[in-house]
Structure 1
Amino acid sequence: MQTCGQCGEENAIVEDSENGRTFSVCTECGFVVKEEQILTDAVNFEGTTQTHGLGQVCFNAPNSIKRKHYEPQGRKDGHKLIEERGLGLNYRPDMIQTAIYFFDHLYKVIKHSAFEMKTTAAHCSLYVVGRQNGIPVTIRDFKSQQGERKRIHNFFSCLQMLKKDFNLTIPNIELEEQTTSILSKAELPSNVICLTQRILDVAKTAWINSGRHPRAIIIAAASIAWKADNSLNANESLLTFCRQYKFECGSNVKKRYKEIHDMLLTLMKRIPWITSQKIVRITNIPFYIEDILKYHKSLMVTVSQTSYSAAEEKIGAVKAEVNNESDFLPPSMKRVKKERNESLTDPIINTDRIDENEIDQYIRTDNEVKELQKYLSLQECKIERLDTFIK
């Protein structure tokens, strides 16, 4: 007979068991007199726990309890990436939540894909939200985070899925917004960025940006502005500029650089106080950039008038000069179409001069002519046989 050590009551101690433990409890005061662990296989008990000085360890808890607060690691990583990148891009909290919502929608489809696909889905969600809210982000802003170039098609797959499922349209970014975004990230001075904008305004008037990748035009114009801003940089090359500010210097950038240079040189040749003093050279452009930009509208009119008058008069020397200068027309109007000489290779057939036995060869195909000759030869053989039989 046990006596409660708390209240001293006798015959009030009862035994009970729960989750693999036995208890001796006083029914009067509730004091636990004795507690023991049943040393049996833990598989027979759901939710059985033991403490070994390292915290609580769960044995064979039901799947419903295990998965109650479980979140897939890929989804957690995607949310974390969106939050970190969103803060780096100065996204508002509501924009970050919208990007997470888009990512969760994509995750239902790509949850069994590789980790790189989930990362791409997070970047795509950020891209869509940024463009929808007027932030001039480009795919290139997330491309460096994606790794290999061949994975870019995954980005477009996610983008098409979001556009289709949510009926989204991605607004275009104006050239001015892209210029500020691209050059600010390269930490170019503000005065160089402003001068680049002015050069791009002239380039737009001359249709140089028509159908061209804006980034290449921006880098080319920025290199000219960088040269004009500081006389020490006037003789530096495009490659030096790109290396200093970590821009790519591919073939497109070089082509746009030459086009803008040729346009500025053409305008500079029309400035009287420059042409009257010295020979106009392409290396003089950085020193006279302000005059070119200030009077570019009137200079373009002068170039156009010269082009039209030369085309009308067709004077040899002037015509040669015009061919070397740009008319500042859209690319579609500059393309020279090849003249087609539609001469008939087959002369018209005069049936009056053709023998009746040969006319069939002109109105039938080669196979038909062969079949006809074969048929006629067979008929001749039959006639010959019939003649011999009669005789």
Structure 2
Amino acid sequence: MSGLKCPQCGSVDVVEDDLYGQSQSVCVDCGSVVREGSLAPDPVGGTDVSYSFSTQKSKRPCPNLIKGLQRARSLCRVLRVNSDIETLTLSYFERAYVHERFLCVSLEKKEVLAGCCLLASCRTHGWPVTMATVAFLLETDAAAMGSVYQDALRILNVQVPAANICDIIEAHCQQYRLSPEHVPSELAVDLRALTRRTVALVELAAESWIVTGRRPAPLLTAAMYLSWQSLHPSPLRLKTGLGKFCQIGGVPKSKYALMRVTELREMLCKLGNAIPWEKQEVTPDNVMPQVEDILDHRFALMRKALRSFEESLQTEAEKAPDPEGDQRDSPLEREVRDTAEDPGLSPSERSEAGADWGKGVLFAPPCVGRPRKRKRTPSSRTDVTGDEDISDSEIDSYIRTPREVRDFVAAQKLISTEKDNV
């Protein structure tokens, strides 16, 4: 070919060679490629060949994965975690993202997955972060995030240690902007003192069954609110409601926090009335100045309050007439005995019996003090003829219970007395 010379051997014997649709100029003497042509307009064989099946070496991450990694990295920067937690969070997210459980879900759920990976990484490294905090940053529901969190732990096969409640409370207190540089002096508080008082209130709430079966975030908010009021019980703080307190602290208000505030105040009043040097009755309106004394002597006050409550029940039992003449047992003991003897109780009847039992104790679990009403489902059986076999438990359900017997005897005596008077 004229005009071409091999740069390797200097030969001018250069020919055109069409290989796989691409024109090349090749030296005949040494075989070197002198010049390469352009790719042929039509692929070999007449069919399209995808780039990913021809020359691509590695698959490019999808846009949603890239956005998810950016979201996880942003959450790490907001919470100011260290580099180890951030690296582990990104690794968890990449592993969980490609799993079939999260591969074909909505973008919102993938964003929640990023927060769950961050929470698992923080718990693994002992970083005190609550699920409510991460859910607030993601603007999602904590309950929905909990289900995704359990799925992520199962897929990643990660054993997350239990979080220390004191560390969680301290991290929760750090979210409130209540330092002197954020709020006026009459509303400011020392965060370390606030944390100690909140921890003590939460421990007291656990001993009085308020924590049982409850979500932690509303309880922590309620305990912090009462701690903030009790540290400096000034008229301004006592008049500040829970919503205003959350607005001052710059945190969202939980719809259940107000209920926890009421329960904590009732519990503090029960212990405050057991203070020996307190002459006036302790009510929810004047209990805040007594919180420090209650927390300092909580064990002795709780024993005294329980003893006083049992003595009052015994006094009421002695005054109340008993048709059978048995006045040795307290109402609580008779209630427990009768409930144990009553056969064939339905769920609603058991719930009512538990509510009656809750009235006989000073501190009771929430499920006993405020039982949830259950709807009765009508029976779907329509083939009842009256000739079916009756079991022993069904026969026992028609027998009067000891309480019904006593009520029946008392009613008969009352009716006979009225007839005699007439």
Q: Quick one: distance in 2 between partners of 1:64 and 1:171? A: 47
Deviation at residue 262 of structure 1 after TM alignment? 1.6
Amino acid paired to 2:122: G
Q: 1:62 to 1:305 in 2, by over 3 A?
A: closer
The one-letter code sitting in structure 2 at the alignment partner of 1:262 is E
Q: Using the alignment, how far apart are the partners of 1:301 and 1:64 within structure 2?
A: 80
Following TM superposition, by how much is the alpha carbon of 1:130 offset from its aligned partner in structure 2, in angstroms? 2.4
C-alpha change, 1:102 and 1:226, in structure 2 (3 Å) is: same
Q: What RMSD, in angstroms, separates the aligned Cα atoms of the two structures?
A: 4.4
Offset of residue 158 of structure 1? 4.2
Task: Tell me how far 1:13 sits from its aligned partner.
Answer: 7.2
Q: Would the alpha carbon gap of residues 2 and 43 (structure 1) be closer, same or farther in structure 2, given more than 3 Å must change?
A: closer
Q: 1:127 aligns with which of 119, 122, 129?
A: 119
Q: In the alignment, which residue of structure 1 is the partner of 2:131?
A: 139
Q: Compute the TM-score of the two structures, normalised by the length of structure 2.
A: 0.60
> What CA distance in whole angstroms lies between the structure 2 residues aligned with 1:74 and 1:209?
40
Q: Distance in 1 between matches of 2:85 and 2:243?
A: 38
Higher alpha-carbon Rg: 1
What whole-Å deviation, never above 9, does each CA across 1:156-193 have from its counterpart, x for those lacking one? 55444444445544444343232212221223441222
Alignment partner, residue 416 of structure 2? none
Amino acid at match of 1:327: L
- Going from structure 1 to structure 2, the CA distance change for 1:77 and 1:312 (only over 3 Å counts) comes to same
Instruction: Provide the residue aligned with 1:66 in structure 2.
Output: 56
Contact 2:113 2:152 in 1 (8 A): no
Provide structure 2 residue ranges, at least 5 long, that are not aligned to the other structure.
Answer: 179-189, 321-330, 332-357, 372-396, 402-422
User: Using a 3 Å threshold, how does the CA distance of structure 1 residues 225 and 62 change in structure 2: closer, same or farther?
Assistant: closer
Identical amino acids, percent of aligned pairs:
19
Is the 1:192–1:226 contact (alpha carbons within 8 Å) kept by the matching residues of 2?
yes
Structure 2 letter corresponding to 1:138: T
In the TM superposition, 1:175-194 aligns within 5 A as 175-188=165-178, 189-190=190-191, 191-194=193-196
1:235 is aligned, of 221, 236, 239, to 239
Paired residues of 1:235 and 1:283 also in contact (CA < 8 A): no
* 2:349 counterpart residue number: none
Does 2:258 correspond to 1:254? yes
Distance in 2 between residues matched to 1:10 and 1:177, nearest whole Å: 79
1:108 to 77, 96, 99: 99
Q: 1:206-236, CA deviations, whole angstroms, 9 ceiling, x for partnerless residues?
A: 2221222222221111111111233231222
What per-residue deviation string (whole Å, max 9, x for no partner) do you get for residues 232-261 of structure 1? 312222222122224444552122111111
Other-structure match for 2:391: none
Report deviation, 1:89: 3.4
Does the 8 Å contact 1:219/1:247 carry over to 2? Answer: no
Q: Does 1:117 align with 2:109?
A: yes
Structure 1: any 5+ residue segments left out of the alignment? 46-58, 345-391
CA distance in 2, matches of 1:10, 1:236: 96
Partner of 2:41: 42
2 CA distance for matches of 1:227 and 1:261? 12
TM-score by length of 1: 0.64
Deviations 1:290-341 (A, max 9, x none): 2222222222222112112222232669x9xxx99972354577689xxx99
Aligned 8 A contact 1:3 1:10 in 2: no
CA shift digits 1:135-166 (9 cap, x unpaired): 333332332454565x964x455444444445
1:15 Cα deviation after fit: 5.8
The 1:77–1:207 alpha-carbon spacing in structure 2 relative to 1, beyond 3 Å, is same
What's the counterpart of residue 224 of structure 1? 226
